[in-house]
Chains A and B, each alone.
Chain A
Amino acid sequence: MNRAEKIKELLYKTFHECPEDTGSAAMDERILSDASTSMKQAIAAYQQICPVSKWRIIMRTRTVKLTTAAAVLVAAFVLITWDRSTAWSFEQTITAIKQLNNLQIKGRMDYWSEPVDFNCWIRCPDQESELGAMRLECERMTMVARFRDETVYFYWPREKVVLITKQGSEIEDLKFWYQAAQMSPWLTGKIVETLRLFTDDWKQTIVTDPESGKEQVHVTCSYRPSNTSISFIVDTETNLIERGKMWMNLQRAGEPQFDGQTVIYNQEIPDDFFEFQIPPGVKIITQEDIEQCRVLLKKAEDLFNQKKYAEAMEAYRQVHDKCPHLNIAVEASMMVGICHNRLGEYDKEIETYLTAISEYSLRRGLGWIYFYLGHAYMDKGQNDKALEAFENCLVSNEGISEPDKFPLKDAREYIAKIKSQ
């Protein structure tokens, strides 16, 4: 051992192995009590987001949310091994990661409220280079992610659009999953560790599969801030996950957002399988385009807040026209309609909402537009159309908005009001 190494060892022994003061129980309680209070206040403050902002968050992150949901579950597929005695053995998990080269998951997932079959391949990260890759294919979308440089390619064959972006750059509502995924390298044991740390209702049960007679472990957990719950089944012989599901609710109710039904481990996958070839003739949207849209959107919001509605409307239009395939454009379209309303152009307002609904008919989360459409119809005395719009609001935002908040709460009240007339 050279002298530099001896210095390191000396420091480690002095301050790490024998810290001067390991703290008292009273210290722990004081810190945890104050931190808990601080956390409660922060969460309460975070939940006071105004409806439009929240809507924007959800809409803007819809695609990324899907990807992240997949990624978290995939991470669980890749990483979990089982220590039968108690809970996790992180060292065993790391060992298991090193033994896996790749895996393929087949199953069903929710894509804009429509269940679709998917096929997902993952190349596990190399511990040295932190390089992993993922390819997700379903009928309406292909997503290829490379984790070393965090680049993600989204390809929508129907719209002939390729979006090149950084993964998970706007996952406010899934921030803790995102945080987990961000712990470099992505898809390493750290994500499992984080899941274990951040979920409060972790439950594991050993059962015998009635069909195979094999012992399995069923795990469930959920995370309230992101309104997400997960279940998965581990084969205790292989220590690998056999199946897994993720719901966008805490009760694991209804159809899961992501349902991994079959997993194949360590098959032959060519290296170039995870390279994305941009198809000819497609429109390419880059991160720079997205940033420009955000700057424009901010400008539009400022103008709107200054009650310069005509100028705001023009800025919102530019946002939509620049990146019509992004979620941000849906919001911009809605705001154009609201600007018309503020300018007293009520027919144009309705026309704008109807155009936006038609343009983005395949997407869920249009409830806010339906709500403003219903309101516009009510103002014109067209209650039948208003009723239909409010009911569409309920359908479109079910499971997306909280039922006792805007716009679902308000839509229900207006429906009751119209029906009582």
Chain B
Amino acid sequence: MDALRRIYEKYKPDLLGVAGALLNDATALEDVLHDVFVRFASQAGCFRLNGSLKGYLAICVANRARNINRSNRQNGYETLIGTGAKSSGRPEPSQAAGFTERRRFVAGALAQLPQEQRQVVVLHVLSSLRFREIAQQTGESVNTVQSRYRYGITKLKSLLNGEVDL
């Protein structure tokens, strides 16, 4: 169990970043991380890994986030994107105000990308996964993954133009 804790502590920051960038509902962060780690732990004894553990977990987080987004859309429930509102309701520190504003724009722009492009961009940029790894884990060709990344970045450029300092 000590090993599990070390894995959790090591990868948690990265995975929170990925989940935060992919989820439309920021309150679901904890649920995503919870589901991914419980599922990972439940595979003890039969777990097989192709590629890195970090990549595997990041893909799991991305898939879980996608499912939650989809489920929320189907239920007609979707919180305001990137408002920075936290589930605890505690007030924002004043020094974080600028960051929250930036986050709102960036998260909003990301949410306008098609899901596949958003996932590739986030996994490549935030988790530092190589296109080959993403392709391996998602079952797509490397060319497809690279194209999605290229289209995603191009669209982000256009969406963020003027909103934040580029």
Contacts and interface: CB of A to CB of B under 8 A. Distances in A.
A15 B5 contact: no
A343 interface: no
Interface string A1-13: 0011011101110
A35 B37 contact: yes
A42 B43 contact: yes
Interface stretch (B13-21, B67-75, B137-145): B13-21
A23 B12 contact: yes
Most buried by B among A6, A190, A197: A197
A28 B120 CA distance: 27
B29 A23 contact: yes
Contacts of B2: 200
Interface in A34-71: 34-36, 38-39, 41-43, 45-47
Contacts of B7: 197
Number of chain B interface residues as a range: 35 or more
Interface stretch (A99-107, A177-185, A374-382): A177-185
Contact of B37 (A31, A172, A194, A197): A31
Say what secondary structure dominates the interface of chain A: helix
Given A15-B21, A38-B42, A199-B3, A183 B49 contact: yes
B126 A39 contact: no
Which bucket holds chain A's interface residue count? 35 or more
A45 B16 contact: no
A22 B13 contact: yes
Contact of B102 (A14, A43, A183, A197): A14
Contacts of B52: 183-184, 190
Given A11-B21, A12-B126, A35-B4, A6 B166 contact: yes
A18 B41 contact: no
B162 interface: no
B164 interface: yes
B5 A19 contact: no
Interface string B44-81: 11111111110000000000000000000000000000
A3 B161 CA distance: 10
Contacts of B121: 11
A27 B29 CA distance: 10
Nearest to B132: A184
Contacts, number: 156
Given A20-B29, A31-B38, A198-B3, A43 B44 contact: yes
Given A23-B33, A38-B38, A32 B26 contact: no
Nearest to B42: A38
B164 A10 contact: yes
A10 B18 CA distance: 14
A43 B21 contact: no
A84 interface: no
B44 A7 contact: no
B106 A20 contact: no
B41 A15 contact: no
Contacts of B156: 7
B126 A11 contact: yes
A22 B4 contact: no
25 contacts: A7-B153, A7-B160, A10-B160, A10-B164, A11-B21, A15-B17, A18-B103, A19-B16, A20-B20, A20-B26, A20-B84, A20-B86, A22-B13, A23-B33, A27-B30, A35-B4, A36-B4, A38-B39, A39-B41, A182-B49, A182-B51, A183-B49, A184-B51, A225-B44, A225-B45
